[in-house]
Structures are given as structure tokens and as C-alpha cells.
Structure 1
Amino acid sequence: MHIKNPSSRVRAALGAVAALGVLALAACSSDTPAETTSSSAAEPAASDSAMTETMEVTDVTVGLIPILDVGPIYLGVEKGFFEEEGLNLSLELAQGGAFIIPSVSQGDYEFGFSNVTSLILATANGVGLEAVGPGASTNGTEEDMAAVLTTSDSGISTAKDLEGKKVGVNALANVNTATINQMVRDDGGDPTKVTYVELPFPDIVPAIVSGDIDAGQVVEPFRTAGVNQDLVSIGSNFLAMSPTFMIAEYFTSSDYAAENPDVVAAFEAALAKSFEYATANPDEVRAIVLDYTQMDEETANAVRLPGWPSEIDAASVDLQAELAVTDGTLAEIPDLSNLK
């Protein structure tokens, strides 16, 4: 795989967590990818080599977020699952799903990874999108890969305590703000009193430590980075919704799906193989993360892995739509059959 080095600016911003601050340039800019990985480097299985030589290969670009959740697609590239389906993938990183959606809808990327809430809001605004597979979910245990972190002396110990505080999130009006808001409600608080600050994931832990924000929502590997700097968790905003809460999906544009059904079917098949393999081989997921981040091996062995479901969870899509209505980001729930 060809990996571009992250920028010194982000490494400096991460300071003590430079090894986890990971993913630099792309996590800070939706316009300039930090990394491009091509599946042409993967070698097909020997039994499939003859078929691969004669198969027409389609180049596709996939927009991703630099987090642990996307490990299976990197693993699938390495194992040749996409090449076996006639696809040559270029993997590019961006700050969040809200930044990837326009690139997919405009045809810059053929596929993308996004939190479901952002896909719902885009659908409600008339953006033609179609889910092609689940992205990631809570792992069904109390050891979740997401957390709302704060300092031990912040005075924040429950979700209600976030009232009047500044909370860092990777994007506004997405799954993180929606689920934190629900945590606050469930704890008897008023989420309208929470001030959200948009920051790239690698910048959230340093901002908590420096006191620029009072708390922040992170996923792995940034959860482990924060814990290693003595930050404390007040809970997982995802696990608070459901033990099997589907956070994200892979998607394409409605136009691309209609014009390229064979490519979409091939992507879906390879993605399913990748998820199945990743679930059965967690140690290989931890190893592949070392290739597309600058995480060290000790940290890779310590992080909590998400779940990678075999199919889209319609209940999670419906719940995120309901939360959007409750938050006032949606007036009413649109037809979401395209995301189920």
C-alpha cells in the first residue's frame, strides 16, 4: 500500500499523542486527502488469478474517515477481496461523513463511509443517496469503542453535567451530537444548554487537555489516547442508544447505483467478505491499522474494536431519524428506504 505521511502540523497539535494523532492531513481537511491506498497492490488468490487476468477492472474511489471503524475495508484490499470482484480501490480520508457526502453526490468519489444521521439529513435535503452496506456498530459489550471524555477535575461526571459546557465533536448535527443530546435528556438535562465545538477527531483530546473545551466525544484510537492522558469517560453515547447501535453505513449516489449496478453489487460482495473476515480475525484488523495510521503496536493491541454487522440495521436508521426530529434538525422523517 502507498501511504502518505501525515503533516507536521497535526503531529505537533497532538503532542504527546502524536503516535495516535494519526491520520493528520485528511482528518483536518475534507479537500486534501491524507492518504490514498490502491487495491492494485493486493495479490489475488492463486486459484482466482486466471479469472482476475481476464476480468474487466473498474477503478473506484472510496471516501473514509480515519478511525478504527474502517479497518475492514483496508483489510479487504490487502486480502484481495475487492480485486477478486473486479474493483481497484483508491481509499481517501476526510474529516467526517458530512464532508464525504458532497464528494459522493458530485461524483468525486464512487462510494463513501458516513454516520447514518448525516445520510438522513442529506436525504431529507434531496440528495440522492443509497446505502450499500453497514459501516460499524457498537460491539454488544460494555467495552465500547466510543466515549465522552473529560478531565477528572472538570466537575462533569454525568451527561446532565454537560449543560453549560463546551463539548468537542468531529462534525455538527451528526450522530455524535444527536446521541449526546439524548444522553443528556435521559439524565434529566437540557441538551440545548450544551455548546458543541467542531474539531477533527485528532484535535479533540488535546483540546480537552489544554482546557479549550470541557469534554469531547471520540472513538478509537482517540479514546485510548485520552485514557492514556488520564482523561475519564462519562459513558459511550453510542452504547447508551443500544448494544447493537449501527453508527455508520457505506453508500453511493443514487445516480451511480442506477448507472452501475454491477459495480455496486461487486462492492457490496467484497465489503461483506471484508466484514466477515475482520470479525473472525480481530488481530489482523489491529495489524492493518498500523498500515493506514501511525498508531504504534502497543496502542493497536489496546484499542477497543467496534462491531461490523452483516447487514444494515433498520431500527438504528429509524432511531437516528427520530433523534433528528427531536433535536429539530428535521421537521419530519423522510422516506428512508434508500438507507435500509
Structure 2
Amino acid sequence: MFDEAVSSRRDYGRRGFLSLAMAGGVALTASGCGLLGGSDDSGSAKGGSGVEKAKIKVSIMPTIDVVPFHLAVQNGYFKNEGLEVEAVDAASGDASLQKLQAGEVDIAYASYTPFFIAKSKGAADIKLVADASSAGPKSTEVVAMPNSNIKNVHDLAGKRIGITATNTICDTLTKSVMRDNGVSFNDVQWVSLRFPDIGPAVKRGNIDAGFLTEPFITQSAKVNGTVEVIDTASGGTKDFPTAGYGSLGKFTDANPKTVAAFQRAMLRATKESADRSKIEPLMIQFSKVDEATAKITNLLTFQSTLDARRIQRVPDLLQQFGSIQSKIDVQSMIVPQANAS
């Protein structure tokens, strides 16, 4: 199981900016990245007059694909839209969703699988607010030790594979590649570990292989000597949607202008994230990676605007694996998408 969610919160107002500019970093709990610096506090909010709720809370994880969120904070894009954003750390997608359901946050970042599983069970009226990422080449992998008997996907049958949790993007992508290659995953032993612990567990022999995302793939190769067994962003899961931002229907219905402001800020920051030079300093400061590692880390593909046809791949695959029992119509879950301001 995941460790308990990180309880510290970061208020991205003026004082939060100043304190974070001096901070050395945050502890990793799931998979990699944080935020950098502050922004000018002198300008007036361009979009502030129309939002229904100016102060919102967003649960996030320290992952690379939240870099656009951090850039939106750093460059004042939320502020320009009239939003004061407080980020609440979560240790996993499930933990992030739980915070949303408990009313602790207004918007939650998570891999798509917890959102769709909650929707399928009727546990929450999930609405998708913004996209976050797709799996880029070699950005999600199953790794093992070079001297192990696991050399390819066929060797994974019946093995102990480390993942963050079952019914997540970790086992879903792994199962898909195994199935595409005619390998049974029914007798796989899925072992729940935090991302930072998977590489060391592989090295010690506590597990036979492990699913990792970047920058943990690059870090583990450097520190533990692990090597790629399969690139899980290949075959049927090439460019597979991995994560996004969700909310509850009662919030999106009551606050459409607030949601649109969040979307515009995220869209602007996502476009800026195409410049890798803006991403690497964030990885160095908050992912606890050195400059050399940051430069060679394979990145996820950043996304922002939700495309129902693309996202539909996720619940369809989950249904195939029995994680959800009936078809989910993604289009009905997507709130109207705002254009950049």
C-alpha cells in the first residue's frame, strides 16, 4: 500500500511564493517533480471579476506531469485569471481522489484509472476538468536487474512485479503489453510499493521486476543498475492517456467560470512546457535529481485540453481487464473546455 499522503500544504499566495523560492525541495512520495520560485505580486487579476470562487484547493502529486501546474503558479497564470491556488500534496492518485471526495480540495490531479473506477462504482460524480499527460516513449517501463532471468515481456509471467497499487496506470499498462504479446498476467504477484522504493526492491531481489515512471527510471538505472524489460508506452498503449485533473459535478456546475479560469491557466502553462529548459530546473530542485539526470530523463507528453475520443481508451481498457464492469462514456464526464485567454 502507499504510504500515508503527505500532509503539508503549500499556499501559492505571496508568502507561499517567497518561502518556496528559498526552499531546497520537497520529499518525494510518488514520482518526481515540484515547483520553482515565485511571481510578481503587483499586477491585478485579469480574470478575477468573474470567477465564482477565487480561492481553490488542488491536490497534486510530486510527478513530472504536474510541471505545467507549477509553471502556472510560478508565472502568475492562475493569479491573472483571478485564482488563488493552494496545492495539497497527495501520496497517490487514490489519495488525491479521496481528498476530493472528502471535500478537502476542489480539483484533484490523479492518473485516470481512479477517476473511472470511482465513476463506475457510483462512488462519486466525477467530472474531468483538464488533461495532464500521455505516456511518451520510454517514460513508463517495467525494469529488472541485468543479471536476472527476466529479459523480455515473456519472462514476466508468474513473477513478482512492483507497482504503486492495483487498478492503477501501473498494472493497466503492464497488463496491456503482456496481453499484446500473448503473455498471461493472471498469476503475476503485484506488490504495492512507492515509486522511490521499487528500484531498490528490484536490486535486493524482494521483487523480480518493477514498473517505474520518469525520473525514477533514469534514477534507478544510475543508482541500482536496473534495465528496461518493456516500454509500457508501446503497442496498444502507445501515447496512452495517463493522468488528468478531475472534480465533482456539484463543484463544476456551481463554478463554471472558476473551472474555465483554471483551464485557461493550465493551457497556457502546458504550451510553455514544450520548452524543456523550463522543466529541467524544476526537476533538479524538487525531484532531487542532478543536472545530468534531468537532461536525459524521458518526459511524458504534456496535455491540457481534453479529447473524449483519446481519453476513452482508458475506461475501455479497464473494462477489458475487468477493473470496471460496464462501459463509461467519457464525453459525458468532460466539462466544457476553455480556450486560452
Asked if Structure 1 and Structure 2 have the same fold, meaning a TM-score greater than 0.5 normalized by the shorter chain, the answer is: yes
Mapping for residues 279-294 of structure 1, pairs under 5 Å? 279=274, 281-294=275-288
Label 1:51 to 1:134 Cα distance change in 2 as closer, same or farther (>3 A).
closer
Cα separation, 1, equivalents of 2:190 and 2:168:
11
Query: Is the alpha carbon distance of 1:244 and 1:87 closer, same or farther for their aligned partners in structure 2, counting shifts above 3 Å?
Result: same
Q: How does 1:41-56 map to 2 (within 5 A)?
A: 41=17, 42-44=38-40, 49-51=43-45
Evaluate the alpha carbon distance shift between residue 37 and residue 232 of structure 1 in structure 2; reply closer, same or farther with a 3 A threshold.
Answer: farther
Question: How far, CA to CA, are the matches of 1:45 and 1:123 in structure 2?
Answer: 39
Aligned to 1:137: 134
Distance, in Å, in 2 between the alignment partners of 1:115 and 1:237 is 15
Q: How many Å apart are 1:50 and its aligned residue?
A: 3.9
Q: Give, in angstroms, the shift of residue 297 of structure 1.
A: 2.4
* Percent of aligned pairs sharing the same letter: 23
Query: Aligned partners of 1:51, 1:86: CA distance in 2, in Å?
Result: 5
State the match for 2:298 in structure 1: 304
Paired residue for 2:233, among 228, 234, 238? 238
Cα distance in 1, alignment partners of residues 47 and 314 from structure 2 = 44
In 2, distance between residues paired with 1:234 and 1:77?
37
Pairing 1:173–2:129 present: no
Kindly provide the amino acid, as one letter, of the partner of residue 170 in structure 1.
T
Which of these residues, 186, 189, 209, is aligned with residue 215 of structure 1?
209
Alignment of 1:323-338 (within 5 A): 323-338=317-332
Hey, what does 1:29 align to over in structure 2? 4
**SS of aligned partner of 2:155:** helix
Report the Cα distance in structure 1 between the residues aligned to 2:195 and 2:44, rounded to whole angstroms: 43
Paired residue for 1:249?
A: 244
Match status 1:104 vs 2:83: no
Q: How far apart are 1:93 and its partner, in Å?
A: 2.4
Match of 1:14 in 2: none
Name the TM-score, length of structure 2 as normaliser: 0.83
The equivalences for 1:152-191 within 5 A come to 152-191=146-185
Residue 190 of structure 2 aligns to a residue in which SS? strand
Residues 200-222 of structure 1, C-alpha deviations (whole Å, 9 max, x = no match): 11111111111111111111110
Deviations 1:219-257 (A, max 9, x none): 111011121132111122133334422111111111111
Deviation per CA, 1:161-211: give whole Å up to 9, x if none. Answer: 111111111121112211211111111111111111111111111111111
Q: CA contact under 8 A between 1:149 and 1:226: conserved in structure 2? A: no
- Helix, strand or coil for the counterpart of 2:56? strand
Tell me which amino acid in the other structure corresponds to 1:93. Answer: D
User: Could you state the TM-score of these two structures normalised by the residue count of structure 1?
Assistant: 0.83
Structure 1 residue ranges (4+ consecutive) displaced by more than 6 angstroms after TM superposition: none
Is the aligned partner of 1:82 residue 2:78?
Answer: yes
Name stretches of at least 5 consecutive residues in structure 1 with no aligned partner: 1-26
Secondary structure of 2:39's aligned partner: coil
Partner of 1:192: 186
Matching residue of 1:67:
63
Structure 2: any 5+ residue segments left out of the alignment?
Answer: 18-37, 335-341
Aligned-residue CA RMSD (Å): 2.2
2: distance between equivalents of 1:75 and 1:168? 31
1:259 counterpart = 2:233: no
Work out the CA distance in 2 between the residues paired with 1:295 and 1:91.
22
Residues matched between the structures, number? 307
Query: Where is the helix percentage greater, Structure 1 or Structure 2?
Result: 1
The alignment partner of 1:89 has SS state of strand
What code does the residue aligned with 1:297 have? E
Deviation at 1:44, TM superposition (A): 4.2
